[in-house]
Amino acid sequence: MDHSQILSLISVLTLSSMAVAAAIPSTVQGHFRPVTVPLELGFRGNAVDLPESDPRVQRKVKGMEPEQISVSLSVNYDSVWISWVTGEYQIGDKINPLKPENVASVVHYGQLRFPLSHKAKGHSLVYSQLYPFEGLQNYTSGIIHHVRLTGLKPGTVYYYRCGDPSIAAMSDIHFFKSMPISGPRSYPKRIAVVGDLGLTYNTSSTINHLQENNPDLILLVGDVTYANLYLTNGTGADCYSCSFPQTPIHETYQPRWDFWGRYMQPLISKVPIMVAEGNHELELQAENKSFVSYSSRFAFPSEESRSPSTFYYSFNAGGIHFIMLGAYIDYNKTGAQYKWLKRDLADVDRSVTPWLVATWHPPWYSTYKAHYREAECMKVEMEELLYSYGVDLVFNGHVHAYERSNRVYNYSLDPCGPVYITVGDGGNREKMAISHADEPGQCPDPSTTPDEIMGGFCAYNFTSGPANGQFCWDRQPDYSAYRESSFGHGILEVKNDTHALWTWHRNQDLYETAGDQIYIVREPERCLAPRRVVKAQKYLY
């Protein structure tokens, strides 16, 4: 092939690529008219949990060899956390917790498989799930280790082994790739976003599809294992309160966490995972302790991002600044989380990290009947702050379906508001959300909508627009661009400092098929941040 033929081929490929991109809608086209995809009954209903006998969830290591190995990020590319579990959990009337000090937390790592030239030490802990009622089985975990690796180069593959070399209990060699350096032209290629995952056969379909998309980072937007759908004897149900209304305390079956960690290890031992807490992580136990397993099993860059809590933190992945917020901890303007958020937003340099992405579990903008306007109090407290600093994109879970909004602020279409995406469709054993609050007879009574965990009541009837005087719209709201009830996951591909491609994949499709796809376009000249909050636009339709 001569030079002119090569140039012709390049021209054809470029034009072809532009044509494909042109066929994908973008947010600069304005606000899209709402779309509801009709229900496909063949792909809905309950999901069946993987049984304890499934080889993917069974313990394969011996003694104090590491298992449930995972990678999570610190605040910047130059460090990550490696986590794992050693020793077996115990469950029953009598438990004898393991002693963390008896097993070291060590990681050997380097850019070559041999030798692994660097060494890092960390900390370890054991947690228990205890019930002060006769007949309920208590639980104590294996030893959970967290080690922070530092001094990493950006965009570089590192190999590592973890464990305790003094007792010959080291893992096989695993690897991960560090994040790219923070900058306006530097991004991870693909970020997978999934919520309400659980451990079902539908979960396995979601994870298989997700792996085929070869992500560099995974965001899990709450509701991890659904261990709280089980009694302590392992008996489970799709609806705990329906099946076990007489239990003295809401029980959980903690081994489901261990099953989940084993199942996920092949993926998250090489692809970093960042997690936000969901309501199913509450897991109340003796002495009113809650969220203990969630806070113990994952490593969070809380300290590195100057957060006092595992419920909220931030980190950079290339030119993206991620903010992970807690919906089940104080979010009032006078509280610690709000003050941290305000400080974190003020410190963001948009010339270094142009993209600002926020994540928490229950959505503010969802049109499904399930959990409709449940997080209204959090929205009332925090929406103005996020809007004023120009948050580009918000990911939520909780509602077991998919929905993408138009750009919106205070329920009104706004060209500078964030795009809100609900991806609570990972595949857990609870039912899919299929009813919409705007359908006849489906609007919930406002008194039923306050969040059960945080309490409070902030919902109100709409005061303007097509829903004026009503608690629900009588049609799909203008701020809702696309909604569909189906299991799946999403992939975010940030192309540059202004364009990001969002693709939602349904489990029933081939993995390269897009259920929903759009370019999310930043317009910094139009929407400068931080900025004064102005009155939201009137409805356009």
Q: Hey, which bits of 239-307 come out as E strands?
A: 273-275
Q: Which two tokens stand for residue 41?
A: 């009954």
Q: Which two tokens stand for residue 479?
A: 């701020």
Q: Helix or strand or coil: residue 103? A: coil
User: Quick check: 293 and 310 in contact, CB under 8 A?
Assistant: no
Residues 108, 280, 371, 505: which is the catalytic one? 371
Distance CA 75, CA 370 (A): 34
For 101, which DSSP code? G
Q: What is the DSSP string of 502-526?
A: EEEEETTS-TT--SEEEEEE--TTT
User: Quick check: 428 and 400 in contact, CB under 8 A?
Assistant: yes
371 tagged catalytic: yes
* Distance between first and last Cα of the chain: 55
User: Quick check: 78 and 150 in contact, CB under 8 A?
Assistant: yes
Which residue shows structure tokens 């001569």?
2
| Residue 35: strand pairing partners | 482
Distance CA 160, CA 414 (A): 47
User: Quick check: 238 and 430 in contact, CB under 8 A?
Assistant: yes
- Closest among 240, 228, 231, 233 to 199, alpha carbons compared: 228
- Closest among 355, 270, 280 to 318, alpha carbons compared: 355
Distance CA 255, CA 246 (A): 23
CB atoms within 10 A of CB 14: 10
Are β-strands 123-125 and 106-110 bridged in parallel, bridged antiparallel, or unpaired? unpaired
Distance CA 14, CA 173 (A): 41
Distance CA 73, CA 78 (A): 9
Distance CA 1, CA 201 (A): 50
How distant, in Å, are the alpha carbons of 28, 374, 394, 466, 471 from that of 458? 32, 9, 21, 21, 12
Torsion of Cα atoms, 144 then 150 then 153 then 155, to 10°:
20
- Sheet with 35-36, side-by-side order of all strands: 35-36, 480-484, 402-405, 419-423, 393-396, 355-359, 320-324, 313-317
Which residue shows structure tokens 């030798």?
115
- Sheet with 273-275, side-by-side order of all strands: 273-275, 217-220, 191-194, 488-494, 499-506, 516-521
Question: In which element (H, E) is residue 315 found?
Answer: strand 313-317
User: Quick check: 146 and 83 in contact, CB under 8 A?
Assistant: yes
Phi, psi angle pair for 390, to nearest 5°: 70, 40
Give the catalytic positions in this structure. Answer: 371
